[in-house]
């Protein structure tokens, strides 16, 4: 939805980190940034864990056209 709430911004940031991790090994500087982001707020940690959980779940869905 078009909600610009802070909650949505945190979720988008969590998705962003999850995707960056998936795109390849993080550089040391990026990893430090991620750690800082996670340390900054329990909401960040919760959102990131949720993104990771969804990431795991989607990996268990069989492909559509197989």
Partner 1 sequence: MRQSKPLSPVEEVFVKDRIKIFNSVLKILANRELAEDVVHDAYLKVREAGAAVSVKQPAAYAFQVARCLAIDRYRRRALETGIFSGESDDTQGVTYSTPERIEIGREELRLVSRAMNSLPTRTRRAFELYRMAGYTQREVAEQLGVSTTLVNFMIRDALSHCRSSLSSE
Residues that bind partner 1 (CB under 8 A): 11-12, 15, 18-19, 21-26, 28, 31-32, 34-36, 38-39, 45, 49-64, 66
The one-character DSSP state at 52 is H
Contact indicator for 17, 34 with CB cutoff of 8 Å? yes
CB of 11 to partner 1, least distance (A): 7
Token code pair at residue 42:
């329990």
Name the minimum Å distance from CB 30 to partner 1: 9
Judged by CB, which is closer to partner 1: 5, or 22? Answer: 22
Q: Which residues contact 45 (CB under 8 A, 6 or more apart)?
A: 38
């Amino acid at each position: 939805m078009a909600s610009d709430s802070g909650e949505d911004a945190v979720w988008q940031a969590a998705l962003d980190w999850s995707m960056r991790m998936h795109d390849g090994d993080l550089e040391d500087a990026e990893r430090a940034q991620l750690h800082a982001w996670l340390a900054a707020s329990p909401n960040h940690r919760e959102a990131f864990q949720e993104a990771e959980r969804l990431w795991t779940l989607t990996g268990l869905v069989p492909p559509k056209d197989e």
